[in-house]
Chain A
Amino acid sequence: MGKSSKDKRDAYYRLAKEQGWRARSAFKLLQLDEEFDLFNGVTRVVDLCAAPGSWSQVLSRVLIQGQQVGRAAWEDKRYKELLRLRQQGSIVDDSEEEAPTEAKPRKDVKIVAIDLQPMSPLEGITCLKADITHSSTIPLLLQALDPDYDPTSSSIEASSPVDLVLSDGAPDVTGLHDLDIYVQSQLLWAALNLALCVLRPGGKFVAKIFRGKDVDLLYAQLKVVFQSVTVAKPRSSRASSVEAFIVCTNFQPPKGFKASLDNPLGAGRRLEQSSSTHDNLNGSPRTVRDDGIVELDMDTQSAEDAASDRQGLADRSTRWIAPFLACGDLSAFDADASHKLPEGHVSLDPIQPPTAPPYKRALEERKKMGGAYGKVKGAG
Chain B
Amino acid sequence: MLEHVHHRVPVTALSFHRRDHVILAGHGNLLRGYDIDTGQILTNLKVFDDQAVHGILVTPDEDVLLVWGGRLVRKLNGHSISTYRPSNVYEARDWILDAALSPEDDCIAFVDAHNALTICNIRDLSAEDDGSTKPLATAVPSSNCILYSAHVTWLSGSQCLIASGTAFGDVMLWSASISRIADGSFTAVAQTHYTFSAHEGSVFGVQLSSKQQARRLGDGCDCLLASCSDDRQVKVWDVSDRFTNSHSLPQIQRDTGFGSKPEAEEHAPPCLAAAMGHVSRIWKIRFCDHDAQKGVEIMSFGEDASNILWSVKPDSEPGNQPFALKQVGVQNAHAGKQIWSVAAAEDGCFATGGADGAIAIHHAPNLPAEPSEIDRKMLEPGDNIRYYAFFNQGAMLATTDSGSVWTLQLGAAGTSSAREVLPALPALRGYSVVASISRLAFLAGSAGIVYMYNANTNKLTSVADCGKKVTGLFVSSHEKSHSVRLVDLLITTVGQSDPCYMRFVRDAISTAEYVSPREDHQPSLPIPEGFSITSFTTMEHAQPCIHLTLVGARNGSIAICNTSSDGHDGLIKLLPNVHGKEAVTALLWRSHGNKPTTLSGYLHSLGKDGTHAVHNIRRHDQKWEIELIHQLGLPFGPNIEGLTILPNDHLLIWGFRGKAFIVYDADAEQETMTVACGGAHRNFAFQPSVEGGTFVWTKASKIYQHMQTRRPYTLITPGDHGREIKAVSVSSTEDMQIFATGAEDTNIKLSTFDEKDGFRCVQTLRRHNTGIQHLCWSSACRYLFSSGGFEEFYVWRVTTGVPVLGGVGVVCESVHPNSGKSDLRILGFDISETRQKGVFDIVLAYSDSTLKQWSYDIGTWSLVSTIDYLTACLTEVFHTSGHVITTATDGHLALWDTEASASSLTWRTRHRTHQNAILGVAFRELHDRSSLVFTAGDDNAIGITRIEQCGAVRALLIPRAHTAAVTAVAVVPSDTDRNTLLLLSASIDQRVKLWTVSIDVTEPGVDGVHVKLQRNVATSVADVSSLALCRLAGDEGVGCVVCRVGMEIWRIGGGIRDTYLSRVSDEVIRE
Contacts and interface: CB of A to CB of B under 8 A. Distances in A.
A303 B1015 contact: yes
A348 interface: no
B94 interface: yes
B723 interface: yes
Interface string A114-136: 00100000000000011101101
A341 to B, nearest CB: 11
A20 B291 CA distance: 60
A326 B939 contact: yes
Contacts of B825: 338
Contact of A340 (B276, B848, B872, B890): B848
A211 B963 contact: yes
A310 interface: yes
Given A294-B1006, A326-B891, A358 B202 contact: yes
A306 B1017 contact: yes
Interface stretch (B319-327, B536-544, B950-958): B950-958
Contact of B355 (A5, A83, A175, A323): A175
B746 interface: yes
A175 B49 contact: no
Given A131-B259, A186-B146, A311 B72 contact: yes
Interface in A192-250: 211-216, 233, 235, 239, 242
B954 A294 contact: yes
B989 A215 contact: yes
B1014 A242 contact: no
Given A82-B871, A211-B964, A239 B916 contact: yes
A309 B201 contact: no
Contact of B960 (A292, A321, A334, A338): A321
B453 interface: no
Contacts of A171: 167
Counting chain A CB atoms within 10 Å of each CB, the highest count among B113, B280, B871, B993 belongs to: B871
Interface in A311-344: 311-313, 315-316, 319, 321, 323-326, 330, 333-334, 336-340
B257 A330 contact: no
Interface stretch (B230-238, B307-315, B610-618, B670-678): B230-238
B257 A325 contact: no
A324 B959 contact: yes
A144 to B, nearest CB: 12
B525 to A, nearest CB: 42
B915 interface: yes
Contacts, number: 296
Interface string A160-192: 000000000001101111110011001000000
Contacts of B873: 334, 336-338
B433 interface: no
Counting chain A CB atoms within 10 Å of each CB, the highest count among B257, B824, B1045 belongs to: B257
Classify the interface of chain A: helix, strand, loop or mixed.
Answer: loop
Given A358-B202, A362-B276, A374-B279, A309 B1017 contact: yes
Contact of A116 (B168, B338, B846): B168
B1011 interface: yes
A335 B455 CA distance: 71
A157 interface: no
A172 B954 CA distance: 43
B86 to A, nearest CB: 11
Contact of B846 (A86, A319, A338, A365): A338
A301 interface: yes
A324 B259 contact: no
Interface string B905-922: 001000011011101000
Residues of B in contact with A, size category: 35 or more
A140 interface: yes
A176 B961 CA distance: 25
Contacts of B93: 267-268
Interface string B794-827: 0000000000000000000000000000011100
Interface in A1-56: 1, 5, 8-9
A313 B92 CA distance: 10
Contacts of B956: 293-296
B463 to A, nearest CB: 49
Contacts of A140: 257
A82 B868 contact: yes
A300 interface: yes
Given A293-B955, A298-B1011, A338-B846, A172 B202 contact: yes
Contacts of B963: 211, 214-216, 319, 321
A319 B1016 CA distance: 14
A369 to B, nearest CB: 10
B12 interface: yes
Nearest to B868: A82
Given A294-B954, A338-B824, A358-B231, A136 B964 contact: no
Contacts of B50: 213, 309-311, 315
Interface in B869-913: 870-873, 889-891, 907, 912-913
Counting chain B CB atoms within 10 Å of each CB, the highest count among A5, A140, A293, A325 belongs to: A293
B1011 to A, nearest CB: 6
B1045 A177 contact: yes
Contacts of B1005: 294
A359 B201 contact: yes
A150 interface: no
A8 to B, nearest CB: 6
Contacts of B36: none
Nearest to B233: A362
B871 A78 contact: yes
Given A213-B990, A324-B940, A338-B825, A358 B167 contact: no
A299 interface: yes
B988 A212 contact: yes
A177 B70 CA distance: 12
Contacts of B965: 211, 239, 242
B955 A337 contact: no
B146 A358 contact: no
Contacts of B258: 129-131
Contacts of A347: none
A310 B49 contact: yes
Given A182-B113, A310-B49, A334 B232 contact: no
B446 interface: no
Contacts of B257: 130, 134, 136-137, 140
A312 B889 contact: no
A108 interface: no
B337 A378 contact: yes
Contact of B964 (A76, A242, A310, A313): A242
Nearest to B97: A179
Contacts of A76: 871
Contacts of A280: none
B48 interface: yes
A294 B938 contact: no
A304 interface: yes
B554 to A, nearest CB: 29
A305 interface: yes
A373 B1006 contact: no
A334 B169 CA distance: 37
B229 interface: yes
A46 B200 CA distance: 28
Interface string B1013-1055: 1111110001100000000000000000000010000000000
Contacts of B168: 116
13 contacts: A116-B168, A174-B283, A178-B51, A183-B146, A239-B916, A239-B917, A294-B954, A297-B959, A319-B963, A321-B963, A337-B848, A339-B848, A379-B305
A-B pairs with the 8 shortest C-beta distances?
A358-B201, A239-B917, A177-B1022, A211-B964, A362-B232, A326-B915, A337-B873, A136-B257
Given A315-B50, A361-B200, A362-B231, 11 more contacts: A129-B259, A175-B355, A186-B146, A233-B939, A268-B93, A296-B956, A296-B1011, A298-B1011, A303-B1015, A306-B1017, A359-B232
